[in-house]
Amino acid sequence: MSTGYQVAVLGASGAVGREFVRLFEQRSFPVTRLKLLASARSAGTPVPWRGGSIEIEAVAPDSFSGCDFAFFSAGASRSREWAPVAREAGATVIDNSSAFRMDPDVPLVVPEVNGSVLTARDTLVSVPNCSAIILLMAVAPLRALGEIDRLIVSTYQSASGGGAAMMEDLLDQTRDSLEGRAPTPKTTPHPYAFNLFSHNTPIGPDGHNEEESKVMTEARKILGRPDLKVNVTCVRVPVLRAHTESVTVEFKDKAPSVEAIREAVSSFPGVRLVDEPQNNRFPMPFEASGQDDVLVGRVRKDPSHDSAICLMVSGDQLLKGAALTGVQIAEKLSELRKVVETAPRA
Amino acid sequence: MSTGYQVAVLGASGAVGREFVRLFEQRSFPVTRLKLLASARSAGTPVPWRGGSIEIEAVAPDSFSGCDFAFFSAGASRSREWAPVAREAGATVIDNSSAFRMDPDVPLVVPEVNGSVLTARDTLVSVPNCSAIILLMAVAPLRALGEIDRLIVSTYQSASGGGAAMMEDLLDQTRDSLEGRAPTPKTTPHPYAFNLFSHNTPIGPDGHNEEESKVMTEARKILGRPDLKVNVTCVRVPVLRAHTESVTVEFKDKAPSVEAIREAVSSFPGVRLVDEPQNNRFPMPFEASGQDDVLVGRVRKDPSHDSAICLMVSGDQLLKGAALTGVQIAEKLSELRKVVETAPRA
């Protein structure tokens, strides 16, 4: 039985990459050797690790030799390029990009929601889109209360979804705006300070942007519900690192009571109920940022539909929306493999 | 036939009050005498007017004598106190507060949407809630294309809805945040910089906040559709003066085509179609701010419902959401009265 893992992070200079490294320490993920990889441009950058630091290396064909787990967050094209190399070298790839998410042979996993699809033999697992993860953490607890027919979602997405550069850009543009300078967006298609805009991914022929298409198709795969109806509008708001969503859930039959929903949410792992009408305190990015838990609240009956309810959810986009889910997948695989290793042989 | 009007503005020191004054000049509203009224606290403050300035006076029982039109934007309790006084003095009150909106004897008017309910004899007219106005400017053009059954709305509301003080507070809190100081909100229940929160009005027993209840009940009254189903979630985002809304419209029968909707929106007065998928350019506060027109776009089929469509709308909260609609109501009443005055006597 292994006492630890050799681990690589591809995209170690990015916002999600840095969270992976921080989470290994915070969660005592048993790393025996850590390799931080990125493009040649970031090579040499030191990253804090266990009181010292590790320099980022340029990713190369031999980067993954000896690796047990490789965490990828460097975009879909890098994932397509390097995942076969890492798997060939014997690593299990946990991929935070969209490259393999809809591949029927690749599990797409939020451990609390559909962790049961993982097996000890999986060597490539996709982390879902951040907006899909945060939505499903709010919706999953409701499955026990009735069959869900339709989701209607409007998102309030943060800059972190566009990476560390977009977070910096939001701060820069806001500083410019406060000082009366014209906005000069570096990463956004439109001014971002004190503004919002429809999500900056290309629009398909059906009128949906890529982010919306991901949420719709990934939600169906993760919930194992190809018939699930999903309507989602993705919007970028000037917030740094937590996504918020306004969600209407229509049930096939009678909607559960608000009290039953609050109880189901409260007892679901990874979710925290924040639902204080008397204080007007509900999920918001200021409280969700930096938290592992996704915040769910503003639970109420939909006044326009007998079988529907409304709620709000807010979750850290870099943590539960990306890096935390990735590390949790590795932890789950690690457990499954230990069971296999320690099982008595026939 | 009168050649002009004696006009009073109650709440002249506020964000909406200042827009009233600016709009009288911009639209050449025929003001022969302008009286600017507020609480004693603001008395003496000079307000620019036709190259010079007028000082704000403390409102008093004789403030409205000789007035033809009195524009109120000083909150519901001030409206309840002073509207009877102004009407008794012979003024027509255009009230931007919620005080009389749901009174069956008081017209609640967005001129482009239901201007036909106004008559020459009306001496008290309510301006609807800002979020309701902006929603209905997007929805009204669709009435010609099919009967609307249900609206599902999530709002992205600006600071201006909380007045000039909340706009200042958002700027102050953002400055503090950028300089690493802890947020000290003066007007908001939660930190506002780089954050968002459920609308800061009290929550009723049905789980809705007051803003949401206003949008639901006012939409039904304005559209003359007591049976209209409305689901609305109101959220405050860190934007200065335009409200944006993500809207799903369910029709009773077949949904109209996207092209028919675009045409209907384009030809509706006071609305501008901003719908450029190829440029990822849709309605946003940055472009709606300071504009009379409400921007509508992102028109697309709802993939989760055969008879539904989705769109986004963004409109200046201080202009079309408040002061502009008020001045347009006065213009419409003025026209109606001229027709009455010049009609041949029997």
On chain A, the residues whose CB falls within 8 A of the CB of B304 are 150-152, 229-231
Tell me the pTM. 0.97
> What is the pLDDT of chain B when averaged over all its residues?
97
Res A344 pLDDT > 90: no
Pinpoint the alpha helices (H) of B50-104. Answer: 76-88
Which residue does chain B place closest to A180, by CA atoms? Answer: B171
Q: Which amino acid is at A190?
A: H
Across the interface, do B216 and A303 touch by the CB < 8 Å criterion?
yes
- Asked if residue A52 lies in contact with residue A23, where contact means CB atoms within 8 angstroms, the answer is no
Active site residues of A: 130, 243
In this complex, the residue of A206, A281, A300 whose CB is nearest that of residue B303 is A206
Chain B residues in contact with A239 by the CB 8 A cut-off are 194-196, 238
Residue extents of the structural domains in chain A: 5-128+322-342, 132-317
pLDDT in the model for residue B345: 63
Nearest CA in chain B to A231: B304
Contact of A154 with chain B, judged by CB distance below 8 Å, is answered with yes
Asked whether the predicted pLDDT for residue A2 surpasses 70, the reply is: no
| 8 A C-beta contact, residue A118 and residue A329 | yes
The whole-angstrom distance between residue A163's C-alpha and the CA centroid of its chain comes to 13
Token pair 């009956």 is found at A301
Report the run of H or E that residue B37 belongs to, with start and end.
strand B31-38
Q: What are the helix (H) ranges across chain B?
A: 15-26, 76-88, 111-114, 130-139, 163-178, 210-223, 258-266, 285-288, 324-342
Give the percent of chain A with pLDDT over 70: 99
Q: How many residues does chain B have?
A: 346
- ∠ Cα B312 A211 A199 (to 5°): 45
Percent of chain B's residues with pLDDT above 90:
96
Read off the pLDDT of residues A31-53 as tens digits, 9 standing for 90 and up: 999 999 999 999 999 999 999 99
Do B197 and A284 lie within an 8 Å CB cutoff? yes
By the 8 A CB rule, do B331 and B269 touch? no
Spatial CB neighbours of A229, under 8 Å, sequence gap ≥ 6: A149, A150, A151, A250, B303, B304, B305
- Nearest-CB residue to B196 (from A231, A239, A281): A239
- The Cα-based distances of A335 to A119, A123, B28 in angstroms read 10, 14, 75
Please identify which residue in the block is written with the tokens 């919002």. A196
Cα separation, A293 vs A138, in Å, equals: 11
Does the beta carbon of B65 lie under 8 angstroms from any beta carbon of chain A? Answer: no
Mean model confidence pLDDT for chain A:
97
A191 touches chain B (CB under 8 A): yes
Partners of residue A203 in chain B, C-beta under 8 Å: 277-278, 280
Roughly what angle, to the nearest 10 degrees, separates helices A163-178 and B163-178?
Answer: 120
- Rounded to a whole number of angstroms, the distance from the CA of A241 to the nearest CA of chain B is 9
Which candidate from A202, A246, A304 shows the least CB-CB separation from B154? Answer: A246
Q: Does residue B294 surpass a pLDDT of 50?
A: yes
CB burial of residue A79 (10 Å; 0-12, 13-18, 19+):
buried
Q: How far is CA A123 from CA A88, A94, A118, A245, B46, in A?
A: 10, 8, 10, 32, 72
Provide the 10 A C-beta neighbour count for residue A257: 13
Architecture of domain A132-317: 2-Layer Sandwich (3.30)
CB contact under 8 A, A207 and B277: yes
Please give the average per-residue pLDDT across B213-228, as a whole number. 98
Chain A touched by B195 (CB under 8 Å): yes
Q: CATH assignment of A5-128+322-342, given 3.40.50.720, 3.40.50.970, 3.40.50.10490, 3.40.50.2300?
A: 3.40.50.720
Per-residue confidence (pLDDT) for residue A99, from 0 to 100: 98
Compute the nearest-CA separation of A75 from chain B (Å).
21
In CATH, what number does B5-127+322-342 get? 3.40.50.720
Q: Does the beta carbon of B185 lie under 8 angstroms from any beta carbon of chain A? A: no
Query: Any CB–CB contact under 8 A between B246 and chain A?
Result: yes
Hey, how many other C-beta atoms are within 10 angstroms of the C-beta on A224?
A: 10
CB atoms B240 and A194 under 8 Å? yes
Task: Check if the beta carbon of residue A292 is closer than 8 Å to that of residue A112.
Answer: no
Residues of B involved in catalysis: 130, 243
Q: Is beta strand A229-233 parallel, antiparallel or unpaired with respect to A148-156?
A: parallel
pLDDT at A1 over 50: no
pLDDT at B190 over 70: yes
Mutation target among A139, A155, A195, A236 for the B interface, most CBs of B within 10 A? A195
Task: Say if the Cβ atoms of A154 and B239 lie within 8 Å.
Answer: no
Task: Tell me which chain B residues have a C-beta less than 8 angstroms from the C-beta of A246.
Answer: 154, 233, 235
Nearest CA in chain B to A240: B194
Nearest to A302 by CA among A227, A251, A233: A251
Query: Does pLDDT of B177 surpass 80?
Result: yes
Which is nearest to B310 in space by CA: B223, B257, B248, B256? B248
CA–CA dist A237, B244 (Å, integer): 11
Residues of chain B with pLDDT > 70: what percent?
99
Per-residue pLDDT reduced to its tens digit, B69-81: 999 999 999 999 9
Q: Do A312 and B190 touch (CB under 8 A)?
A: no
pLDDT digits (tens, 9 = 90+) for A172-219: 999 999 999 998 999 999 999 999 999 999 999 999 999 999 999 999
Per residue in B115-172, pLDDT (tens digit) is 999 999 999 999 999 999 999 999 999 999 999 999 999 999 999 999 999 999 999 9
**pLDDT of A236:** 98
Assigned token pair, B200: 């800061």
Q: Which residues of B touch A305 (CB under 8 A)?
A: 150, 229, 231
Using a pLDDT cut of 90, give the percent of chain A over it: 96
Of A178, A207, A229, the CB nearest to B301: A207
> Chain B within 8 Å of A342 (Cβ-Cβ)?
no
Whether the per-residue pLDDT at B1 is higher than 50: the answer is no
Nearest to B300 among A189, A206, A279 (CB): A206
Q: Is B290 on the interface with A (CB under 8 A)?
A: no
8 Å CB contact of B233 and A190 = no
- In this predicted structure, what is the pLDDT of residue A83? 98
